[in-house]
Amino acid sequence: MTVDLPPSGTVLCALSDLDATGAKGISLDGNSGRAGIFIVRDDAGVFGYVNSCPHIGVPLELESDEFISDIHNEIICSTHGARFRIEDGLCVSGPCDGDMLEPVAVKIENEKVVLA
């Protein structure tokens, strides 16, 4: 699934928005429906991905901003339990094993997450 991204430098969220769950869904169409992309954070930095499981194209989260597994070290698809590495989106278990989430280039600027 490909999404139309706003221009580089667009602020997506405050870095502090990731504090509660380690992730934040971002709606690109201006309404509060399912996130088009999501941002996750770990010790290595922030990473962005299109919110679509490579297995069947469904959004990954079941509840708002819930993208990280209970043990907080993998992105998880709530539909069928596929697990993805945070740092590169590689599926390490589940029906899409070996596939990858579609990356979205992001960076931190002035305590904000922006499109790179």
Q: What is the pLDDT of residue 33?
A: 55
Q: What is the pLDDT of residue 66?
A: 92
Q: What is the pLDDT of residue 30?
A: 61
Angstrom distance (rounded) from CA 60 to CA 67:
7
pLDDT averaged per 10 residues, the chain (length 116): 80 94 85 76 92 92 89 89 95 95 96 94
User: What domains are defined for the chain?
Assistant: 11-115 (2.102.10.10)
Q: What is the pLDDT of residue 5?
A: 84
Amino acid at 109: E
